Amino acid sequence: MSVEVTLMVLCGLVIFSYLFDLIARQFKIPSVILLLLSGIGLRYLATWLELPVPNFEAILPLVGTIGLILIVLEGALELKLEREKLGLIKRSLGSALFILIITTTGIALFYQYLTGADLRTCFLNAVPLGVISSAIAIPSASTLPGNRKDFIVYESSLSDIFGVILFNFLIANSTVNAMSFVRLGWQTILILILSAAFCLVLLYLLKRITHHLKFFLIIAVLILVYAIGKYYHLPTLVIVLAFGLFLNNLHWIRVPWFKTIFKYDNFYKDFHQLNQLSGESAFIVRTFFFLIFGFTLDVASLQHLSVLINGGVVVVVIYAVRILYMKFFVRQAGAAEYFLAPRGLISILLFFSIPENQKISAIENSLLFFVILATSLIMTFGLISSRQENPAVTPAQPDPS
């Protein structure tokens, strides 16, 4: 394929992705579904035209990791921490943590029943499907009003972070004991200290760099820090979330020395440009990730009865836990909140990060693909159903405190 044809194809895909985004906002259909279907269609088209089919599986984790960082940053840069939202933040944190633990436990017990493997190995293999994908949930929640959108952004971002912490905890501890939790506590304290220090350093860089090209440098530093932390099994996604929240909530810091050292006249102009750049970069990376993922899907494997049955059980566990939790603890949740629990980018990254000697052979890629497609379709149903709801309804009543 010539360079000119390649450029035409790539640009055409970006244009179609933009149109998909417009369709998604208008009809509340997640653009991710359209991207996945486009990727599958391109695979069939390439086969029909007898074109050489490249192996994209090797680059999926790379593109996915960059996409995850940009999407969490984009979501965090839009979140304001206000006193009246304290109850919403508590609810989203509780929802992310408890739904993750209960869902992962349910899937792990099903894996153990299915394969007879030990519980720790089953738990490790279940984590990828216990995590809500912020890469799909955040852009899909853009059609929801006010606090309901913020709830999904907080919940899905925290679910990613808790999922990564839990996954790394299981990888680092072949046997779980009291010392394992002591190490986890120290790692958590360390990452919080690093987050605070890193936010200050990046803000200082924003102030001191006078070159007109500085925002990609900031994003590159974020990715570098994330990669270093991931290499040492630290949950550095916390730093990405903390940096976005920090920049968008500087008005809460009224200490004189902080204003003298870190605040500057053009801050809000720079903040707007960084927000716009991260959003557009996330759009491009998300476009190609889900197109490539759809392209690599083995659709024929989804027709196997074992995949349909096992995948169906996993999907039932996911939504049974979520609906019950929402019903009892987030009482005014609507259809969107009940069903907006997609699996996607983070699930793929964690699934392919499981060491070969700890993978359950019976849990194949096709099961992961089935759950991702099924949860995305169910999420679409939930978003369409939410049209009938009152936009003013929030996920729950404000806390009395």
- The residue type found at 328 is F
Residue 392, pLDDT score = 43
Residue 395, pLDDT score = 43
Residue 324, pLDDT score = 92
Q: Measured between alpha carbons, how far is 326 from 142 in angstroms, rounded to an integer?
A: 20
Residue 126, pLDDT score = 94
Residue 305, pLDDT score = 86
Compute CA distances 327 → 302, 316, 319, 342, whole Å. 32, 16, 12, 18
For residue 13, what are its two tokens? 């895909």
Residue 387, pLDDT score = 61
Question: pTM to 2 decimals?
Answer: 0.81
Q: Measured between alpha carbons, how far is 189 from 364 in angstroms, rounded to an integer?
A: 36
Q: Measured between alpha carbons, how far is 50 from 48 in angstroms, rounded to an integer?
A: 5
Listed in sequence order, the residues at least 6 apart from 291 whose beta carbon sits closer than 8 Å to its beta carbon are 13, 17, 35, 38, 39, 42
pLDDT tens sequence across 198-239: 888 888 888 888 777 788 888 888 899 888 888 877 778 888
User: CA 356: distance to chain centroid?
Assistant: 24
What three-state secondary structure class fits 249?
A: coil
Residue 388, pLDDT score = 55
DSSP 8-state symbol, 213 = -
Residue 103, pLDDT score = 96
Residue 9, pLDDT score = 82
Which DSSP string corresponds to 259-309?
HHHH--TTHHHHHHHHHHHHHHHHHHHHHHHHHHHHHH--GGGGG-HHHHH
Domains of the chain: 3-388 (1.20.1530.20)
pLDDT tens sequence across 306-334: 889 999 999 999 999 999 998 888 876 77
For residue 259, what are its two tokens? 């204003």
Name residue, tokens 């590159």. Answer: 220
Show the low-confidence residues of the chain (pLDDT under 70).
Answer: 1, 28, 332, 386-401
For residue 317, what are its two tokens? 């566990």
